[in-house]
Structure formats: C-alpha cells, structure tokens
C-alpha cells in the first residue's frame, strides 16, 4: 500500500494508512501511517463497535493534515477490547435514520 500511497502523493493528494503490522509498514515507508497492536483483519476495531471505529477513523483523519514528516508512523495507544470508547467517537451518524 505504501508504494501506491507515494505515487498518489506525488500527484498532490495526501494519503494515510492504518497498519497492524509495524515491521512491514517500516519496510514499505508509506507517507503517513498509524499503527495499532490489534488482530489481523480488524484495523479499525471490533465489528459493530461504532464508537471504537469512529475514534480510530477520526484519529487517522486528523493525522492526515497534522503529520508533516514523510515516513512517520504514529503508534496509537488503544488496547484491543480494553478501552471505553463511549463519547470518544465522532458524533456522525452514517445511517439515514438520523435525519
């Protein structure tokens, strides 16, 4: 993914990735990345845990504009299934029932 990210960035579009394999991310050196020590297949969190997923998504989107140094990998402090995400996630509703 980092190779594609670098090419996209050369065209003026900022990119960011979420990684659960730090060693591979260090080798590929994407322009910006966030690392979570979570199980494979769950880079944004547990299925159905919207608060958890939105918390990670908002962290990543903030990093898109905040990270200036190419190749930066940010270690997120969240622990798998040991955090309370109540109220941390964005207050954005993704379904049409909120209208």
pLDDT tens, position by position, 30-82: 999 999 999 999 999 999 888 899 999 999 999 998 998 888 999 999 988 77
Read off the tokens for 54: 């939105």
For the chain, which residues make up each domain, given as ranges? 13-78
- Give the angle 53-57-63 at the CA atoms, nearest 5°: 150
**Strand pairing partners for 76?**
none
Of 96 and 18, the structure prediction assigns the larger pLDDT to 18
Rounded to two decimals, the pTM is: 0.80
- The rounded distance, in Å, linking the Cα atoms of 24 and 2 is 10
Read off the tokens for 63: 């990093």
Q: Is 10 exposed, middle or buried (0-12, 13-18, 19+ CB in 10 A)?
A: exposed
What pLDDT does 90 receive? Answer: 53
Read off the tokens for 76: 């997120």
């Amino acid at each position: 993914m980092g190779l594609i990210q670098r090419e996209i960035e050369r065209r003026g579009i900022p990119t960011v990735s979420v990684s659960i394999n730090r060693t591979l991310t260090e080798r590929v050196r994407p322009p910006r990345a966030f690392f979570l020590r979570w199980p494979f297949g769950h880079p944004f969190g547990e299925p159905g845990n919207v608060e958890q997923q939105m918390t990670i998504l908002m962290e990543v989107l903030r990093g898109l504009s905040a990270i200036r140094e190419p190749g930066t990998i940010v270690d997120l402090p969240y622990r798998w299934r040991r955090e309370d995400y109540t109220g941390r996630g964005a207050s954005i509703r993704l379904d049409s029932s909120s209208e």
